[in-house]
């Protein structure tokens, strides 16, 4: 049986009761329109935790004024069925009013994670990561101590969430989960439903470009410029794609290639790590 809450108080009470009974809690925050990518987070949570809480909330704070907030898909009945199939035991499905007050005007506190939000998605979408950090902090406070699962699909978001959890001492362990893809390579996204058939066909250029960039890195892991340029060159070769950025980011363990492009009005992201 899955317990569905539409208030923070009811959700918190239910998870407090689980912990009091000795259960560990897994958390998978989402904006709904659940697909196999989200399901992989729920599966991972179910494998490593006793109970699994999924949050379904389309967060207005993380959308820009000209973005797709109004038309973002909200198939909640389907979401509940998919979450249950994958082992979710608790769902939080709050209204905007529950999260932010009747007019949104009760929120005077926002969270800004500095530095790592200046580039890529943060540069293209001003304010986006403040919206993400603020809602994630609220959801963490609602959920309480747990292990929280986030997709590498939103790679920069995962880094922001890790930093936030560390900096604000949330009693929460962040777990990153691999990108789930369609058979032809397109990373699953709730926004893929917006793609026209022609744009859907063209969209595989993103994973193709990342694969080509990764192949260059495997011959020379030091040459980030060559890899980034190769990703950009291949995406630019697809007339239906309009490139926002191609980046190569060096970490302790890998080089991460990241790309974002628009197909018509639909913006898609993808990324791929190459071990060092
Ligand atoms: P969203 O509903 O788009 O906000 O995504 C909720 C969570 O699911 C985030 O942690 C995403 O990174 C993750 N996610 C979305 N798509 C995928 C995917 N294709 N593979 C793995 N995780 C994903």
pLDDT in tens, 232-267: 999 999 999 999 999 999 999 999 999 999 999 999
Please give the number of the atom of ligand 1 that sits closest to the Cα of 187. 19
The whole-number pLDDT of residue 107 equals 84
Give the pLDDT confidence score for residue 173 in this predicted structure: 98
Mean pLDDT of the chain: 97
Three-class SS state of 166: helix
pLDDT of residue 102: 85
* 95: pLDDT strictly greater than 70: yes
Tell me how far the alpha carbon of residue 152 lies from the centroid of ligand 1, in angstroms.
Answer: 8
pLDDT at 80 over 70: yes
Split at pLDDT 50, 70, 90, the class of 203 is very high
pLDDT of 160 strictly over 80: yes
The pLDDT-based confidence of 78 (bands split at 50, 70, 90) is very high
Length, in residues, of the chain: 276
Domains 3-177 and 190-275 share a fold: no
pLDDT tens digits, one per residue of 30-53 = 999 999 999 999 999 999 999 999
Pocket test for ligand 1, best of 151, 181, 192 (most atoms within 8 A of CB): 151
Confidence class for position 184, pLDDT limits 50, 70, 90: very high
Checking if the pLDDT of 70 tops 70, the result is: yes
Residue nearest to atom 14 of ligand 1 (CA): 151
Share of the chain above pLDDT 70, in %: 99
Measured by CA distance, the residue closest to atom 5 of ligand 1 is: 30
CA torsion through residues 119, 124, 127, 130, sign: negative
Q: What is the mean pLDDT of residues 84-102?
A: 96
CATH topology of domain 3-177: Rossmann fold (3.40.50)
The answer regarding whether domain 190-275 maps to CATH 3.40.50.720 reads no
In the prediction, which pLDDT does 104 show?
Answer: 63
Residue ranges per structural domain of the chain: 3-177, 190-275
Confidence of residue 103 (pLDDT cuts 50, 70, 90): confident
Name residues contacting ligand 1 (CB within 6 A): 30-31, 37-38, 40-41, 150-151, 153-154, 177, 179-180, 187-190
Dist. CA 220 → ligand 1 center (Å): 31
Q: Given a cut of 70, is residue 174 above it in pLDDT?
A: yes
How confident is the model over 141-168, as a mean pLDDT?
98
Q: What distance in Å separates the CA atoms of residue 143 and residue 26, rounded to the nearest whole number?
A: 9
Which of ligand 1's atoms lies nearest the C-alpha of 32? 2
Tell me what percent of the residues of the chain surpass a pLDDT of 90. Answer: 97
- CA of 151, closest atom in ligand 1: 12
Query: Measured from the CA of 152, which atom of ligand 1 is nearest?
Result: 12
Q: How far is CA 242 from CA 212, 232, 260, 261, 268, in A?
A: 18, 10, 9, 5, 10
CA triple 241-247-250, angle to 5 deg: 155
Residue 206 neighbours by CB under 8 Å, 6+ apart: 185, 186, 187, 235, 241, 259, 261, 268, 270
Residue with CA at minimum distance from ligand 1 atom 7: 30
Under the banding of pLDDT at 50, 70 and 90, the label for residue 105 is low
Local structure of 170: helix, strand or coil: coil
Judged against a pLDDT cut of 70, whether residue 120 lies above it is answered with yes
What pTM does this model have? 0.98
Contacts (Cβ under 8 Å, ≥6 apart) of 80: 2, 4, 91
pLDDT band at 106 (very low <50, low <70, confident <90, very high): confident
Active-site residue set: 38
């Amino acid at each position: 049986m899955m317990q569905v809450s539409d208030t923070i108080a009811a959700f918190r009470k239910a998870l407090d009761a689980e912990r009091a009974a000795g259960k560990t809690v897994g958390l998978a925050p989402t904006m709904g329109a659940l697909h196999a990518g989200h399901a992989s987070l729920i599966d991972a949570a179910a494998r490593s935790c006793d109970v699994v809480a999924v949050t379904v909330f389309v967060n207005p704070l993380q959308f820009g004024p000209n973005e797709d907030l109004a038309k973002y898909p909200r198939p909640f009945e389907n979401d509940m069925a998919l979450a249950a199939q994958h082992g979710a035991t608790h769902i939080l499905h709050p209204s905007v009013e529950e999260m932010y007050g009747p007019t949104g005007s009760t929120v005077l506190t926002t969270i800004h994670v500095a530095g790592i939000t200046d580039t890529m998605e943060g540069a293209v979408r001003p304010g986006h990561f403040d919206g993400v950090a603020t809602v994630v902090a609220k959801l963490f406070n609602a959920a309480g101590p747990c292990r929280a699962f986030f997709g590498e699909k939103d790679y920069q978001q995962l880094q922001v969430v890790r930093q936030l959890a560390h900096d604000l001492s949330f009693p929460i362990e962040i777990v990153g989960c691999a990108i789930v893809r369609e058979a032809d390579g397109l990373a699953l996204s709730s926004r893929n439903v917006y793609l026209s058939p022609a744009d859907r066909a063209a969209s595989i250029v993103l994973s193709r470009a990342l694969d080509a960039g990764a192949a260059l890195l495997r011959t020379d892991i030091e040459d980030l410029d060559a890899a980034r340029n190769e990703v950009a060159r291949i995406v630019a070769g697809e007339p239906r794609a309009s490139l926002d950025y191609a980046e190569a980011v060096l970490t302790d363990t890998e080089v991460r290639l990241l790309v974002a492009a628009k197909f018509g009005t639909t913006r898609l992201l993808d990324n791929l790590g190459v071990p060092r």
